[in-house]
Amino acid sequence: MEKLSSPPAALSGIPDFYIYGEPSRHLDIGFLHVEQVRDRNAIHRGEVALHTHRQMGQITYWTGGSGRYLIEAEALDFSAPAASFVPSGVAHGFSIAPDADAVVVSVSDALLSSLTELTALPLGAPSFVAGTGQPEAWSRFDATIHAIAAEQRTHGGNDNGLMALLLA
């Protein structure tokens, strides 16, 4: 994954959310939330302004379509497949085509900290990757993200199976 430059100091006027459109609130230690971008289409209609999440990082896996993903002051044009990781406090947003969709996995900072030693991904910095190269890697990533989504739908994020999938 491409490591983006360090985010600038706080951007003024950027809202902070629990999940997009909902006021920030305390998260449980093992908080994990999965949804499709289109689940909130009635709120954003394909345009999500810069915002932050104070207590969680997010993995966004673009499964279809194209658009422009914003991380702090950087605008990144993409066509699926594409994926990003944005740590807590980093402003992000997007503008997408009507056919675009993504799976968003939101993970509490406490849960992310337990994964730090188990991944090469720099969890303290935003990352973004797009393209069709390495089809086997994209296939594994796709299977992992969809397994996490299925596990959360089945168990509501309260099962040890989620941690095993995150470590896969």
User: Nearest CA to 57 among 116, 132, 120?
Assistant: 116
β-pairing verdict for 82-86 and 32-36: unpaired
Q: Does 20 score more than 70 pLDDT?
A: yes
Q: Report whether 91 contacts 52 (CB < 8 A).
A: yes
pLDDT in tens, 89-126: 999 999 999 999 999 999 999 888 888 777 777 888 99
**pTM, whole model, 2 decimals?**
0.82
User: Higher pLDDT residue, 69 or 29?
Assistant: 69
The residue type of 54 is: R
Helices 160-167 and 135-155: angle between axes, nearest 10 degrees: 170
Distance linking the first and last C-alpha atoms of the chain: 17
34-38, 61-65, 114-118, 138-142: range with lowest mean pLDDT: 114-118
Task: State whether residue 83 is helix, strand or coil.
Answer: strand
Main-chain phi, psi angles of 156, to 5 degrees = 65, 25
Q: What pLDDT was estimated at residue 113? A: 87
Task: State whether residue 138 is helix, strand or coil.
Answer: helix
Confidence of residue 24 (pLDDT cuts 50, 70, 90): confident
User: Higher pLDDT residue, 25 or 5?
Assistant: 25
The label of the residue with tokens 């896969």 reads 168
Confidence of residue 15 (pLDDT cuts 50, 70, 90): very high
4-8, 25-29, 123-127: range with lowest mean pLDDT: 4-8
Rounded Cα distance, 103 and 70, in Å: 16
Q: What percent of the chain has pLDDT over 70?
A: 85
Q: Does 151 score more than 90 pLDDT?
A: no
pLDDT in tens, 155-168: 765 444 455 555 55
pLDDT in tens, 54-72: 999 999 999 999 999 999 9
Residues 6+ apart with CB under 8 A from 90: 7, 52, 71, 72, 126
